[in-house]
Structure 1
Amino acid sequence: MVKFVFPRGLRLLTPAHFAFVFQRPQRTGTSQITILGRLNSMGHPRIGFTVAKRHVKRAHERNRIKRLTRESFRLHQHELPAMDFVVIVKKGITNIDNRNLKEALEKLWRRHCRLAQDS
């Protein structure tokens, strides 16, 4: 039975984890959101966020974006390759409603799956 949990082990926590992804990432993105990914040796995917205050002014909007992204990752974690992902939010993300954000994230997760298979 597949469990859809989001424990601490699925998060990028330290600056070293983020630096690892930023060294040589595979990029996929839209005009409002970019996901960087790099294969890891852990056997499962992990995720980290960068939601800058200069792009998303209000805390409740930053929290909404992170909550929806975490939920999307949690539901797709068993389909994703063993990669470390960093989600970078750009200007204009606050204009997207929840449904469109979920669809954009699903599209980006599929692209990362394809990129991982090709490499």
Structure 2
Amino acid sequence: MSQNFSRERRIVKTDDFSSVFRLRPKNRTGHFTLYARGNTLQHARLGLVVAKRLAQRAVTRNMIKRVCREVFRKKALDSMDYIVRLSASVVTRRNPATGVQLKRLVKKELEQLFAGETQNRES
């Protein structure tokens, strides 16, 4: 379990994103979709896609990315490329963006997303 998120643990190239997106999603929650593809490295890598149309405020987008990186660092994952994509707006009229409440919701869903991945690995 690594506690860092250096550049080598990130997916940054467009080609790498495209190769992972060609595959079907591995897991979904209410707001997020997880894509995964094996890699030849000794560690897992993470890519994030948080569209502006789904989270209009930069503060919200950055919080989502920060929480996702935190959850990723704390999980023991296989050597794969993972992409987490925000697939539905987390801020709605019924669920306004209050900092603590929104962060708790995002963290819970991301932990479910990666927990499903670790359960698949153990089976």
The verdict on a shared fold, with TM-score over 0.5 as the criterion, is yes
- Superposed CA RMSD in Å reads 1.7
Structure 2: which 5+ runs fail to align? 96-100
Name the residue aligned to 1:86. 83
Q: Alpha carbons of 1:58 and 1:108: their partners in 2 closer, same or farther (altered >3 Å)?
A: same
Structure 1: distance between partners of 2:64 and 2:118: 22
Number of matched pairs: 115
Which residue is equivalent to 2:53?
Answer: 54
Deviation of residue 72 (structure 1)? 0.9
TM-score where L is the length of structure 2: 0.83
In structure 2, the partner of 1:103 is 108
Give the unaligned 5+ runs of structure 1. none
- Secondary structure of the residue aligned to 1:97 is helix
Listed as ranges, the matches of 1:15-94 within 5 Å are 15-76=14-75, 79-94=76-91
Q: Which string of whole-angstrom CA distances, capped at 9 and with x for unpartnered residues, describes residues 51-80 of structure 1?
A: 11111111111111111111111111xx11
In the superposition, the TM-score normalised over structure 1's length comes to 0.86
Letter in 1 for 2:30: S
Give secondary structure in 1 for the equivalent of 2:81: strand
8 Å CA contact retained: 2:2, 2:73: no
Following TM superposition, by how much is the alpha carbon of 1:111 offset from its aligned partner in structure 2, in angstroms?
Answer: 1.1
After TM superposition, what 4+ stretches of structure 1 lie above 3 angstroms from structure 2? none
Per-residue CA deviations over 1:60-107 (Å, capped at 9, x if unaligned) read: 11111111111111111xx11111011110222234621222121111
